[in-house]
Structure 1
Amino acid sequence: MWERVTSILESRGRPVLMGRTILRIEHRGGMVRTVVARNDDGAVEEYAGSQFVSSIPMRELVRLLEPAPPSPVLDAANKLGYRDFISIALMIDRPDLFPDNWIYIHDPSVKVGRIQNFKNWSPDMVPDQTKTCLGLEYFCFEGDGLWTMDDAALIDVARKELAQLGMCPPEAVFDGVVVRQQKAYPVYDDVYQARVQVIRDYLAKSLPNLHVAGRNGMHKYNNQDHSMMTALLVARAIATGSALDPWKVNADAVYHEDIRVGEKDLSGRQVPERLAGVSR
């Protein structure tokens, strides 16, 4: 689908540019004016515009602003946390292993947290129907022992854990690929909403042409379809002046019109709350 979207945009003279690293987001006079980036060849590029939409992790977005925002905004952004993610795709010499699309693993003796069975999402995801491809998913933090382990060692860990779980013998795994995903999960602690609100208020009042969308852009644990819905609402607001608020899309992809000032925002996933009278 997104390849088709890219093709349509390119046919209209709006290419999708990959391989860019954002260096800074320049603003003046209460508006974002330019995004400065470096391409794969090391050349610095500037992109001017009238409206900007960001899916950059909220913490990094605030850090990229130039001039820097007020210190309370920077402080709120710097205290947002993230959980990282490693997916290890194992190719297995078996036509079938289990009927589910994915399964969660609760065995404390292994590190894997979830296993995807790509073939059960679609047979087209595995070109040889006599084989199976499983994605073993590990939740970690960037820089920890799992994250810094080399690919061969990670594939070996995944192979052994699959055998330990009784799914297939190690010798049935004939290949593997490791994908590391930074900031896959925004961390929900008991104060994250207050920190996000500080940043939202600053952007709304000081940089109204800078919009955020998506899981990392909004620091909101939405799935893919919910994240796309927030982006659609942002685009609609820019194009038509629609008043539909992307912040009112919750984790069930339901649009809520009824969150009032001062009320607790129940959109998104909830976090445990500290009991009254219990100190830290």
Structure 2
Amino acid sequence: MLAYRHGFHAGNHADVLKHTVFTAVLRHMNLKPKPYRVVDTHAGAGGYSLEGRYAQKKGEYEEGIGRLWSRKDLPPLVADYVEQVRVFNPDGKLAQYPGSPAIAQLLLRPVDQLRLYELHPTDHRILASAMAGRRGTEIHDSDGFDALRAQLPPSTRRAVVLMDPSYEGTGDYPRAIAALREGLARFADGTYLLWYPQVTKLESAQLPKRLEALASQTSWLHARLTVQRPDAQGFGLAGSGVFVINPPYTLHAQLLEVLPYLADVLGQFDGANYLLEQRAD
């Protein structure tokens, strides 16, 4: 939705989970010399000030990246993710947070391709300015769900697709399923990451099973992190999940170490927990 601004939520616990998994996937893709294409369907502004009024309104980053910033006991994958945030803050102070496009820009090689989609006019303008000049990058102010028709199959024959819509209404849930279905039909070998919020909506609760059914003929991994209780009215972001279709074979073992750590460090109540499931070919 065009009213959504990720700046209010940048660096929160959901970003920590999403970007930790995203970092792991890109690192694995880099192990082979052949280039690949990253398609980010809801790219946002690319980077966010943590000192501006959006991030400061609720200070969500303090319960996310803020809890990891100074720790010395980070598991290797989490340390790698935090290092990308440090590169984005060269003076050593946690003042900026890199969105998915910025993390991709840091990790992709010169031969790799980056395709970014963002409809919000202000965020698109910031994104275009931030990403300008990178070879192999295209920035579009069009619907990311529809983008897969043009981007898949990629000329590289290798691809990572990241979907993290706002889910402010209920329409993003069926659209995400439809886009993934079309993506798999066009390029079955791609790696697809779908982030989703853990909220008190029926669509959110049903989404993992719908994704399992969609990916029943291939490998998948589902990671979920629950860090807080909903409020008294049952609202709020209790946690989030990432569903990966055709995940790297190394990802399950990495997250088996990472998720208990994140549940402990980011947990805001005694019942903080995690879930890790997979279907391997």
Which TM-score band applies after superposition, normalised by the shorter structure? under 0.3
RCO greater where, 1 or 2, for CA within 8 Å and sep 6 or more? 2
Structure 2 length-normalised TM: 0.20
Give the structure with higher Rg (CA).
1
Structure 1 length-normalised TM: 0.21
From the two aligned structures, give the one with the greater helix fraction. Answer: 2
From the two aligned structures, give the one with the greater strand fraction. Answer: 1
